[in-house]
Structure 1
Amino acid sequence: MKHIFSLVLTVLICLNFSAQGNRFTYEYQFRIDSTKTDSLKKEFMNLDIFPNKSYFYGQAQYASDSAMNHSIIQQRKSTPNSISYSSTTDEWNISYLIEKSYPGFKTTWFTNIEQTNMIVEETPVFKWNILPETQKIENYNCQKATTNFGGRIWEAWFSKDLPFPDGPYKFNGLPGLIVKLEDKTKSHQFLLKGNKKLKTEDHSWDYILGLQKEADHEFKGVKVSPAQYKKQYMSYKNDPAKDVKLDLADLRTTMTVTTESGAKLTSNAEVIKYMEESMGKKYKTNNNQLELNLHKK
């Protein structure tokens, strides 16, 4: 493995001589419910690579956040006490952002569990088994590698034609960019579909986070370890309506919920029962997360 490590260092040294960014676009297919074959979703993800770090995020969320933050900032300037916006969350499934810092690959995962924004910090170590098998994928000469991560067995195909020791999601550490990646069950699959050099107008997530800070005056998030994230997730899984219960514990708080059928629920008991049932169903069907070890006992 020593030769791989030296290759990674060489690549990173070369990258630092260039301030040019590179955007790699992946098609991500994933199955939300492991018990249903028709629960397959598809989304396009960007991996923006810069000399000192990379960002991995959903294209649709990026466009939505850009428009929304611009709108909020402009409204604050014209009507400071009256702000409205429309959400396009139905257009995207992936709401997280992953930042990897070079050369140590410290990973910062910006995500949320219900109403709590979370900043999960870690430095995952990938033990890759590089195999002699090669094939051409999306016109790139690729080589096979395998690893265990997140409670899954993964198969990756990386290309030395793309001299970046990075890849989709948190994956990194191979002597070339990961072109194709899938777990053994084939319920999570990434495939590189395009790339381009980034120009000044192709803003990175630094830009989005800056807009968010300006719009909200500060970035709100709780810094946690992966173990603390899992504890919080399991807490919500066991009591999915706990935020609603906490809100309604204040006697001054009232809540009206409109159900999918159009019915309006106003009593606290009705609201809590409905949220327990609907949120419980969400946690039951959303059972096939990429990192199984963070979302199951």
Structure 2
Amino acid sequence: MKSKILFFMLLGVLASAQVNRFFYEYKFIPDSNNKQEVKTEMMLLDIDKNGSSYYSRDKFVADSIGKAELEKQLKAGGGNISVNRRERPGQVSYKVTKQYPDFKTYLFKNVSTDKYKIKEDQKPEWKILPEKQKIGTYQTQKAVTSFGGREWTAWFTTDLPFQDGPYVFYGLPGLIVKLEDATGSHIMTMIGNKTIGAQADETEMQLPDNVRVLGIGGKELEVTKDQFRKVWKAYVNDPAKNMREMMMKSGDGTKVSFKVRTGDGKEISDPNQVFREIEKNTKEALKKDNNPIEPDLVN
């Protein structure tokens, strides 16, 4: 009898350790002046008993490979450390986590070499409408909300008992199957799901004091939305500021160097030229990335 009780207890533990993974096809238009260019990213929404995490599949894979390569070089010792960008590192760099049962929500974003954990202070206020439609294999119902400077329409299903959804959205009587803003610039559609084993907690890589890699290592700085807006404004005005500061702090004997390639493939390493190139490239990229998912956060 004891063995049977132990067996059933073990099954209960295994079931509670599972993660419900939902796959969302995210179609978005980065440049409002070029609406013909629609980009697509596969996003993952992992839900377990403690909360959820929403992130890019491609970025997760690229980051995992990059960390493994960096750890290998650090263990080997030696002088130079080389970090190569993957061919497809993911187009969506942010991540969103929600903690149950109160749905405490955080948006994780990188700005230059810094990492920020932005606390969401607004709960989506939904208006549930009578319209229904079938999306994939699910019967869904319509709901609308205003959030982050956009008008959103969600289609949720009570067939999936999770009051969650993609990005920072939650609070409906079922999982959000499809989410679309009024301009059609951002559309997230659930295209599949599966149950997987519990994910190991992601441990932050500890880098030596003299090593700093964009997007790897270091702690996230928790900020409010207002604080992040000030950070973003400063970055837009001076994209190379962080790297100049890193160069200035290298007076302890640690050599800090930067290299970039120009549009014609020429490699430059002179600090002043590098900073000018970074500033030019960043400002050009921002002009073509003017249609963010949450305009109120960066305007």
- TM-score, normalisation: structure 2: 0.82
CA distance in 2, matches of 1:25, 1:236: 33
1:33-112 alignment runs, 5 A limit: 33-77=31-75, 79-81=76-78, 84-88=82-86, 90-112=88-110
Residue number in structure 1 paired with 2:224: 225
SS of 1:162's equivalent? coil
The answer to whether the Cα contact below 8 Å between 1:108 and 1:121 also exists between their aligned partners in 2 is yes
Residue number in structure 1 paired with 2:146: 148
1:80 to 1:250, Cα distance in 2 relative to 1, 3 A: closer
Given residue 292 of structure 1, which amino acid in structure 2 is its aligned partner?
P
The answer to whether the Cα contact below 8 Å between 2:153 and 2:181 also exists between their aligned partners in 1 is yes
SS of 2:88's equivalent? helix
1:109 to 1:258, Cα distance in 2 relative to 1, 3 A: same
Given residue 40 of structure 1, which amino acid in structure 2 is its aligned partner?
V
Residue number in structure 1 paired with 2:205: 213
Residue 293, structure 1, aligned to residue 296, structure 2: yes
Given residue 56 of structure 1, which amino acid in structure 2 is its aligned partner?
Y
The alignment-based identity, stated in percent, is: 39
Residue 279, structure 1, aligned to residue 282, structure 2: yes
Deviation for aligned residue 1:99? 1.0
The answer to whether the Cα contact below 8 Å between 2:52 and 2:98 also exists between their aligned partners in 1 is yes
Which one of 104, 111, 114 corresponds to residue 113 of structure 1?
111
The answer to whether the Cα contact below 8 Å between 2:151 and 2:182 also exists between their aligned partners in 1 is yes
1:279 to 1:219, Cα distance in 2 relative to 1, 3 A: closer
CA distance in 1, matches of 2:114, 2:257: 21
- 266-275 or 51-60, larger mean C-alpha shift: 266-275
Gaps of 5+ in 1: 1-16
The answer to whether the Cα contact below 8 Å between 1:163 and 1:177 also exists between their aligned partners in 2 is yes
Gaps of 5+ in 2: 1-14, 210-216
1:74 to 1:278, Cα distance in 2 relative to 1, 3 A: closer
Which one of 187, 190, 207 corresponds to residue 188 of structure 2?
190
- TM-score, normalisation: structure 1: 0.83
1:174 to 1:89, Cα distance in 2 relative to 1, 3 A: farther
Aligned CA RMSD, in angstroms, stands at 2.5
Deviation for aligned residue 1:131? 0.2
Residue number in structure 2 paired with 1:7: none
Which one of 265, 278, 290 corresponds to residue 262 of structure 1?
265
Deviation for aligned residue 1:247? 4.4
The answer to whether the Cα contact below 8 Å between 1:105 and 1:123 also exists between their aligned partners in 2 is no
1:34 to 1:116, Cα distance in 2 relative to 1, 3 A: same
Length, aligned pairs only: 273
1:223 to 1:175, Cα distance in 2 relative to 1, 3 A: same
